[in-house]
């Protein structure tokens, strides 16, 4: 019974913020911060591939396997830490107005891992 009551109070607390009337108000809401945090925690392993692509672009194939892996590991840890922070602190309006901490890119899938079609397979 206690668990149900706690869940109902948390749901009422959370969904009380969703009653914003415009899309701009909803964009900077605790629910958006919570969703962004969960998305970043779930998709943080994809940073490894983005780091390998960055290493390949800067240093070629060998750079992808050395420097790129390090870029990817650092990016994975960073996105996991920020996602966990945003998930845990979603009711608190920090940074001001629930703005995202990671802005370039805000979500992992915004990296744009477009591989040219004419690139030879190795």
Closest to 36 measured CA to CA, from 111, 103, 115? 103
**Residues 46, 117: Cα–Cα separation, whole Å:** 21
Place of tokens 């996602």: 83
Confidence at residue 77, expressed as pLDDT on a 0 to 100 scale: 95
Q: What is the pLDDT of residue 23?
A: 44
- Judge whether 5 lies within some domain: no
Say what angle helices 30-43 and 67-88 make with each other, to 10 degrees: 150
Q: How many domains does the chain have?
A: 1
Residue at 14 is within a domain: no
| pLDDT number for residue 5 | 55
Please tell me the distance from the alpha carbon of residue 62 to that of residue 86, in angstroms, as a whole number.
35
The pTM for the full model equals 0.66
Whole-number Å distance between alpha carbons of 97 and 104: 18
Q: Is residue 71 part of a domain?
A: yes
Which pLDDT score is estimated for 85? 95
pLDDT in tens, the chain (122 residues): 777 656 554 654 555 444 443 444 456 788 989 999 999 999 999 889 888 888 888 888 887 888 999 999 999 999 999 999 999 999 888 888 888 888 877 777 666 645 444 555 54
Give the integer Cα–Cα distance in Å for 79 and 71.
12
Is residue 45 domain-resident? Answer: yes
Burial of 19 (0-12, 13-18, 19+ CB in 10 A): exposed
**Would you state the pLDDT for residue 73?**
94
Domain boundaries, position 67: 25-111
């Amino acid at each position: 019974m206690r668990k149900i009551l706690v869940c109902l109070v948390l749901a009422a607390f959370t969904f009380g913020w969703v009653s914003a009337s415009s899309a701009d108000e909803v964009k900077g809401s605790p629910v958006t911060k919570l969703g962004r945090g969960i998305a970043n925690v779930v998709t943080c392993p994809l940073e490894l591939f983005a780091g390998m692509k960055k290493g390949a672009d800067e240093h070629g194939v060998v750079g992808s396997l050395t420097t790129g892996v390090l870029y990817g590991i650092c990016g994975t840890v960073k996105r996991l830490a920020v996602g966990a922070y945003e998930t845990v602190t979603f009711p608190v309006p920090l940074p001001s107005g629930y703005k995202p901490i990671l802005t370039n890119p805000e979500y992992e899938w915004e990296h744009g891992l477009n591989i040219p079609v004419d690139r030879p397979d190795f």
